[in-house]
Structure 1
Amino acid sequence: MIDLRNIDAAEPFLKQLQGEDSGPITLINTFVVPEGEMQSVLDLWQEDSFIMKAKRGFISAQLHRGLGDSNILTNVAVWESVSALRDAFSSEEFQSLLPQYPDGSYCYPHVVRKVAVEGVCVA
């Protein structure tokens, strides 16, 4: 089963899912995959993604893998709102896949929103 860990103790992921619901958000979720389990995690992530893509408010997702022999995957998913992500994450269909991840798998999900920095990027 996958273990969800918090990258920011001051704002845990499950607390973020209860937060402000204005405008699009991005979920950045970094997975640490046990040695020898990359293909099984990729297969499960694909199943997860098909479920999430069918949910209200899903906009896009992109999976990234660390270079070389890295056991790191990072999913960047955009949602219309926090409530849309919360509803999708809480769905029985999605939750039923989490125990199928190999033992020793863990991830660091965190919800972010674009920030404007003058001369560099827009929000």
Structure 2
Amino acid sequence: MPIIRTAAGIVTQINTFTVPDGGQQALIDLLSEAAQFASATPGWVSASLHRSHDGSRVVNYAQSDGIDSALLVIKHLRDAGFLDRNSSLGEAHPGLYDVVFTLER
């Protein structure tokens, strides 16, 4: 389950993919497979996939227990070929983030 709170030590990778028309599900399927693979990496915390209503984007929200773990997850995914396969299905815009503010109802 995602952890969204400040000062938790969690590093979040938010990767927004722009996909061709009709391309969301193929990328979601691959990202789901990649999440299953990555979940065995020490320090992996969670992964959540989101599809846009207009069909043009997929967002991958993945968390690790620190920057070193996040980089290790990325390395394992790269070494296993997932990043190359992802890029064949959509244009990626990745970034690593820390939560700095939350507000709940």
**How much does 1:55 deviate?**
0.8
TM-score, normalised with respect to structure 2: 0.76
1:102 positional shift: 6.2
Q: After superposition, give the CA deviation of every residue in 1:37-69 in whole Å (9 maximum; x if it has no partner).
A: 2222111111111111111111111111111x3
Aligned to 2:59: 74
Q: Say if 2:20 and 2:90, in contact at 8 Å, map to a contact too.
A: yes
Cα distance in 2 for partners of 1:110, 1:31 equals 12
Q: Percent of aligned pairs with the same residue?
A: 27
Counterpart residue number, 1:17: none
Q: Cα–Cα, structure 1 residues 65 and 54, in superposed 2: closer, same or farther, change >3 Å?
A: same
TM-score by length of 1: 0.66
Alignment-derived partner of residue 3 in structure 2: none
Partner of 2:12: 26
Which residue pairs with 2:93 in the alignment? Answer: 108
Task: List gaps (5 residues or longer) in structure 2.
Answer: 1-7
* 2:84 counterpart SS class: helix
Aligned residue identity for 1:30: T
> Structure 1 CA distance, aligned partners of 2:96 and 2:10?
10
Deviation above 3 Å: which 4+ runs of structure 1? 101-104
Q: How do 1:1-123 and structure 2 match up within 5 A?
A: 23-67=9-53, 69-91=54-76, 94-95=77-78, 96-101=81-86, 103=88, 105-116=90-101, 120=103
Asked if the contact 1:63/1:73 (under 8 Å) is kept, the reply is yes
Structure 1 unmatched runs, 5+: 1-21
